[in-house]
Amino acid sequence: MSLTTPRKLTRVMDGLFARFDYAGLLVLVVEPDHDSRAALVRTLVELGLPQPREAATAAEALAQAAELEPALVICDKQLEGPDGTDGLELLFRIRADSTTLPPNVPVLLLAGEAGSPGVMEAKRLAVDGFLVKPVPAKRLEARINAVLMRRFPERVDWGR
């Protein structure tokens, strides 16, 4: 399969064969570490998603999000930018500022450890998923699929 042909998600749910089309969905990856960001982007492309957009800071993410309107934001909780905005603050801004993004845009938060402070705060801010780094490709794929299927049910073909 070429990288130009969008791959369709195939998933069995409740005994039904489901397909989800990724075509045209923009993903914004917000990760301060260049190597980690590149690895995450590479994994997303290998999973069949269109080429994600990248940001290293919350300020870059908000600027890109305003013009792109991504279907999904994957963000590191430990962002460190000149403005002091971390991943939780970015999540808060996304949820609170409806002029930047629709308030229901899915956000997956990445953290260095499961017991990381802020997990409860992220849940309060309605994070759509919380993953511990390094994230295995299969786990990332499963979480992305679950989030996108909930957010875009009209893109799911249940094969009935």
* H or E, element range at 9: strand 8-13
* E strands, 14-49, in order: 16-21, 27-30
Q: Which residues contact 92 (CB under 8 A, 6 or more apart)?
A: 125
DSSP strand pairing (8-13 vs 16-21): antiparallel
Residue 59 lies in a domain: yes
- Quick one: pLDDT at residue 145? 85
Please give the Cα distance from 123 to 141 (Å, whole number).
Answer: 21
- Whole-model pTM: value is 0.81
Residue 14 clears pLDDT 80, i.e. is over it: no
Residue 17 lies in a domain: no
The total number of structural domains that make up the chain: 1
Residue 91 lies in a domain: yes
Residue 131 lies in a domain: yes
Can you give the CATH number for the domain in which 83 is found? Answer: 3.40.50.2300
pLDDT tens-digit series, residues 34-44: 999 999 999 99
Residue 51 lies in a domain: yes
Residue 92 lies in a domain: yes
Residue 27 clears pLDDT 90, i.e. is over it: yes
Position with higher pLDDT, 156 vs 34: 34
Looking at the chain, the whole-number percentage of residues with pLDDT higher than 90 is 18
- Containing structural domain, residue 125: 24-157
